Structure 1
Amino acid sequence: MNKTKQMTVMAAFIAIGVLGASFLWFPTGIARAFPVQHALNVISAVVLGPIPTVIIAFGVGLVRNLLGLGTLLAFPGGLAGAIAAGLFFRMRKTTTAAIVGEIIGTGIIGSLLAIPVARILMDQAVGVFAFVPGFIISSLVGSVIAALVLPKIKPLLEKETI
């Protein structure tokens, strides 16, 4: 994929992530689940690789926060999931690996990284496992979405022209 097409796909994924956050979310305890972000992490890990996936996750989190559609918790969950999904896919070259990376990255690592963010930046005292169930549920739902969508869009993105 050439750089122009890659940047265009990344911008489109950021737009989808922001738009998806306003339509598809659900409460999970003290946090809100945004499964579109997790679906995009898996899809972009498979199609674009780890670095673009992290850039997309950061872009979605930043725009969502600027528009008031999210909280600072978008960063630890989205970025940890993006890194893990991209690296797991790079190691194994399977969609399942990207899904496992997303769930471990967001559900475990991201949820634990969210604790200092909540305490220091959001002034919320939370327990060690306050975010784990919600982050795992969100990443599972997003991974299912990705598994359903990816076979349809991957061939389109791999074409020389769209």
Structure 2
Amino acid sequence: MPSHSAKLKKLMLLAMMTSLDVVLSPLFRIEGMAPMSSVINVIAAVLMGPLYATLMALACGVLRMMLLGIPPLALTGAVFGAFFAGIGYRWGKKSEYAMLGEFIGTGIIGSLLSYPVMVWFTGSAQELYWFVYTPRFVGAAIIGSSAARVVLLKLQEIPLFISMQHLFFGFAFESHPHSLPISRSKIK
């Protein structure tokens, strides 16, 4: 059973990652793409796992819709990307698997589910077709995942990052040489 201190640390980290996503996504934006959302999704997946990464993406999407007037596309791409990035990382224990999960979740699933959501949101299917969002979502997922990989290479050298990862997973993964679990002695 996690202590109150551990629960509080998890919530604080969740709030911090959500805040970073809400603030940075509109700043580093390419028209029709949100690659910074993919950056944060992959980092959150590696740091916090699928549940907390998905909660972060959901909270961020809702906040961006309420505060910035972004359509429901803020949810369809980010939530699936964060979930599959977390699943990929948990399964493969390397950030490359989180990148693949982000690509599948945001680039493929999120883009395809955006069509019916936007038809419902706009009330018209005349100007939309199933793959209308796919090129932009795939582009954002590739750009964002690649940038996240560069950031993660540096973050995984920081003891605080490793200890936070240990908090969520119960252990931490090392990005090299073969993604072996890090002993508790290295994180204290």
> Is the structural similarity TM-score above 0.5?
yes
Name the CA distance, whole Å, in 2 between partners of 1:94 and 1:77. 22
Q: Is the 8 A contact 1:88 1:97 kept in 2?
A: yes
Counterpart residue number, 1:21 = 25
RMSD across aligned positions (CA): 1.7
Letter in 1 for 2:131: F
Q: Is the 8 A contact 1:21 1:69 kept in 2?
A: no
1:159 shift after superposition: 3.4
Among all aligned residue pairs of Structure 1 and Structure 2, give the percentage whose two residues are the same amino acid. 32
Q: Is the 8 A contact 1:107 1:139 kept in 2?
A: yes
Structure 1 runs not aligned, ≥5 long: none
Q: Is the 8 A contact 1:78 1:110 kept in 2?
A: yes
Name the CA distance, whole Å, in 2 between partners of 1:24 and 1:34. 7
2:138 to 123, 136, 139: 136
Kindly provide the CA deviation profile for residues 79-126 of structure 1, in whole angstroms up to 9, marking residues without a partner as x.
111111111111111100000000011100000010111100233421
Name the CA distance, whole Å, in 2 between partners of 1:70 and 1:17. 14
> TM-score w.r.t. structure 1 length?
0.90
Structure 2 runs not aligned, ≥5 long: 165-186
1:69 shift after superposition: 5.0
Q: Is the 8 A contact 1:14 1:57 kept in 2?
A: yes
Letter in 1 for 2:56: I
Provide closer, same or farther for how the CA distance between residues 86 and 159 of structure 1 changes in structure 2, counting only shifts above 3 A. Answer: closer
Moved >4 Å (runs of 4+): none
Letter in 2 for 1:78: A
Counterpart residue number, 1:86 = 86
Name the CA distance, whole Å, in 2 between partners of 1:70 and 1:35. 15
Q: Is the 8 A contact 1:22 1:69 kept in 2?
A: no
Name which one, 1 or 2, has greater alpha-carbon Rg: 2
1:158 shift after superposition: 2.3
Q: Is the 8 A contact 1:17 1:40 kept in 2?
A: yes
Matches within 5 A, 1:11-160: 11-27=15-31, 32-125=32-125, 126-154=128-156, 155=158, 156-159=160-163
1:152 shift after superposition: 2.4
Name the CA distance, whole Å, in 1 between partners of 2:124 and 2:14. 33
How many residues align? The count is 157
Letter in 2 for 1:149: V
Q: Higher mean Cα deviation, 44-53 or 32-41?
A: 32-41
1:68 shift after superposition: 1.7
